[in-house]
Structure 1
Amino acid sequence: MKKFIEEFKAFALRGNVMDMAVGVLIGSAFTGIVTALTTNCIQPILDVITGAKAYTIQEVAGFANAFVTAVINFFITALVLFVLLKAINKLMSINLIKKKEEEAETPTVKVCPFCKSEIDIEATRCPHCTSHLEEVME
């Protein structure tokens, strides 16, 4: 179950999945702006031009208020998504840094069994005492 959760986390936090989710949310918020524009700005203008309806000042103010509210909702949604993605990216970078540190912890030196000095892990002969190390390791 742990492996499944880790795989799902890796899938969900990949860049293209997050980008798609942000696109859907921003798109739905922008749909609110377009709807408010058509129902509260364009439709009343067409109604007045065609003579279908006359509006009072209060109704016109209500239309303007509804459109401004939709624009504000869009910007609030965009701000929340921006902050959320910034936090997710920060957490991902911290996680990547930890993984790099763990990988760097692999040993690069070993101790010579004869003179106890540190030598390269791939050395077959100690540079200090010139002992053959392959015989000891096998």
Structure 2
Amino acid sequence: MPRLDENAQQYLRDVERGARRHTIRAWDSFSSFALRDNVLEVAVGLIIAASFTACANSLVTDIILPIISLLPFLSRNLPEKFAILKHGPNYNGTITNGYNTKDQALSDGAIVFAYGNFLDKIIRFILIALSLWAIASIYSKTTDDNIVKKQVKCKYCRKYISEKAKRCISCTSWQDGREDRGN
């Protein structure tokens, strides 16, 4: 195998040192970004939020909506409630809605008003929002950390600010009435 001259060997050693230095610098940069406290807290929060959403969706789908569907005027699962705006070629006039299911109507080319699916999403949203509010309220009562902060409107610019604010962050007016007394 041919032997490299001294200049080529020195050049390759310099390239290797530079590559190692860049790799170490890149790893340090990545690790300080990915492993700092804020990123880890956000990652844990997102994982908990995803599992909480799955639990809330299961609660709505498996427990609440079946109970709601027992109401006499619904007579089927809420996500399956729909109205036909324009029927397709295989419309069956002997059935109340013309189709047995929403998917059957859609596959026939009918224009479907799927109000049950929309109501299902609204109920899910309200349930998740109420449960998050309940968790935040319980946390606030058991600890001194207040997550749910009361807000008031600034009397000058009408923007919402913290009730403990001394100055408005939008218009910078004093909330204790210093502007009024100065006149």
Name the TM-score, length of structure 2 as normaliser.
0.28
Instruction: Work out which of the two has the higher radius of gyration on C-alpha atoms and give 1 or 2.
Output: 1
Normalized per residue, the structure richer in helix is 1
Q: Identify the structure with bigger relative contact order (alpha carbons < 8 Å, sequence gap 6+).
A: 1
